Structure 1
Amino acid sequence: MSIQNEKELKGILRVGKFVGRLRDFLMEKSKEGISTFALDQMAKVVFEKAGALSAPKHDYKFPGYTCISVNHEIAHGIPSRDRILKDGDLVNIDVSARLDDFYADTGISFVVGDSSSQELRHLCEVAKLGTEAAINVAHTGNLLRHLGREIQQTANRNGFKVIKNLAGHGTGRKLHEEPEVLVYENKRDKRTLTSGLVLAIESFVSTRSEMAVELSDGWTLSTLDRSYVAQCEHTVIVMDGQAIVATR
């Protein structure tokens, strides 16, 4: 969507604040020994208390309130009683919601516990840096493809790759809207960013693989070669100057 008035701006900021706080709460609760199902049930309580709807559950009948992916899983991981977090696990928590008819989407990857896996911690940091670099160029009149360029260049400078068949997207009135926000630069794309455009900008930074595959459960996206992928996602509003990050 493209924001047209103060009511719409306040609506996006409100739902963005909600998913951002829930993301951070679930990250804090992601300790060794907890199941991803237990984390998702915590999210269920928060959704219901706020009068918000889980966007993947409401819009797509996803079997969870949040997507929680572990280790070689990239995205859309189904919360499970059998998936118990361990020290050193790479976890991605993705939270998207509908609140008062507005949508926002956010996600973060992190390493559980005090594991000394510096590569995974660095991977997560580079995912954050890539998303921030894209946000920094998300201003009116810039080319849409420059967001992907920033994400890919950040990954490559740090010795990593990007997952090329996953992307960010427009959001606001629906969870997934146009335009698709690639994590690499397509130089044939001449589209420019317009003021008020709401985007879910996300990085998918990989240790090796450049492709995601869907597992047999019909939801979970993973790597074939067991490489690791970190994601960082924020819902932002394109402005004439610095973009507004609704999910900070």
Structure 2
Amino acid sequence: MTITQEAQLEGLKQIGRIVADTMQRMAKALEPGMTTAELDRIGQACLDREGAVSAPQSTYGFPGATCISVNEEIAHGIPGTRVINAGDLVNIDVSASKDGFFADTGATWQVGRVRPALDRLCRDGRRATQIGIAQVGAGRQLSGIGNAIGSFAKANGYTLIRNLASHGVGQSLHEYPEEIATWPNRDRRRIEKGLVLTVEPFLSTGGLSATDGDDGWTLYSEPRASCVQYEHTVVATDRGAIIVTMPTPA
């Protein structure tokens, strides 16, 4: 989607706030002993209250309102009977639509105290996403996003999952430009003013690609390694990126 009117930006900001608030409420509810299905029901209730519709459900028939991935699961985890434990990393990915606008956000959360290496991975995953967002602006090359993230990852001893890309969003969950690399690349496409896209690198301690699990949805890193994902929906302007997936101020 390319924003051309203020009303479009306001509609996008509304759904961006909804998905961000939903993720924050789910994260605050995280505690050892709860199941991923219980956590998903909290997300579903938040979306329902706002009149929003789960995008993975409506677009792909995903068996949950949100994607919840624990530890070795790096994306698209199905909410179910899995019990969340202290020391786990839990990725919550929330995407939804309202009034014809779609937004997508995600983050990896720590349940209690985790190993120092995982704490560092989370911190650097957030930094990698912000570094990518800083490359978004009208007229810039899309390749700048992945090249900047790749430089950061290499300098800090990380790898990047190279088959889970950022993407256009706004009027549907996944739209042009598809396959926006968040790793070093030579993409010659340029970012036009008003373009709506996600920035969502998957930073890992050794993983290189995502592979399918037996359930047809859940993805795992190959080779197996810890991985985190942080994601925002942004709009490109002459002055950089507007992040629309920001939660309501406390």
Please confirm whether the aligned pair reaches a TM-score higher than 0.5, indicating the same fold. Answer: yes
Contact 1:110/1:121 (<8 A) preserved: no
Structure 1 residues 120-173: Cα deviation after superposition (integer angstroms, max 9, x where no partner): 111111111111011111011111000011222222221110000110100000
Aligned ranges 1:145-184 → 2 under 5 Å: 145-179=143-177, 180-184=179-183
Question: Alignment RMSD, CA only?
Answer: 1.0
Structure 1 residues 152-205: Cα deviation after superposition (integer angstroms, max 9, x where no partner): 222222111000011010000000011122111222x21111110000110100
Cα distance in 2 for partners of 1:50, 1:110 equals: 24
Select the residue among 127, 130, 133 that pairs with 1:135.
Answer: 133
Question: 1:110 deviation in Å?
Answer: 2.0
Cα distance in 2 for partners of 1:58, 1:198 equals: 20
Structure 1 residues 60-87: Cα deviation after superposition (integer angstroms, max 9, x where no partner): 0000000000001110000012x11111
Q: How many residues align?
A: 245
* AA at the equivalent of 2:19: V
Cα distance in 2 for partners of 1:85, 1:140 equals: 42
2:119 equivalent to 1:121:
yes
Contact 2:35/2:84 (<8 A) preserved: yes
SS at match of 2:91: strand
Cα distance in 2 for partners of 1:242, 1:166 equals: 24
SS at match of 1:108: strand
2:103 matched residue in structure 1? 104
2:234 equivalent to 1:236:
yes
Gaps of 5+ in 2: none
Gaps of 5+ in 1: none
1:93 matched residue in structure 2? 92
SS at match of 2:200: strand
2:218 equivalent to 1:223:
no
Contact 1:127/1:155 (<8 A) preserved: no
Structure 1 residues 15-34: Cα deviation after superposition (integer angstroms, max 9, x where no partner): 00111111111111111111
SS at match of 1:209: coil
* AA at the equivalent of 1:28: K
Contact 2:133/2:199 (<8 A) preserved: yes
* AA at the equivalent of 1:181: I
Cα distance in 1 for partners of 2:83, 2:242 equals: 36
* AA at the equivalent of 1:229: C
Percent of aligned pairs with the same residue?
42
Cα distance in 2 for partners of 1:28, 1:226 equals: 28
Question: 1:242 deviation in Å?
Answer: 2.4
1:84 matched residue in structure 2? 83
Aligned ranges 1:26-105 → 2 under 5 Å: 26-81=26-81, 83-105=82-104
1:15 matched residue in structure 2? 15
TM-score (norm 2): 0.96
Cα distance in 2 for partners of 1:114, 1:148 equals: 31
Cα distance in 2 for partners of 1:128, 1:149 equals: 16
Cα distance in 2 for partners of 1:86, 1:152 equals: 32
Question: 1:39 deviation in Å?
Answer: 0.6
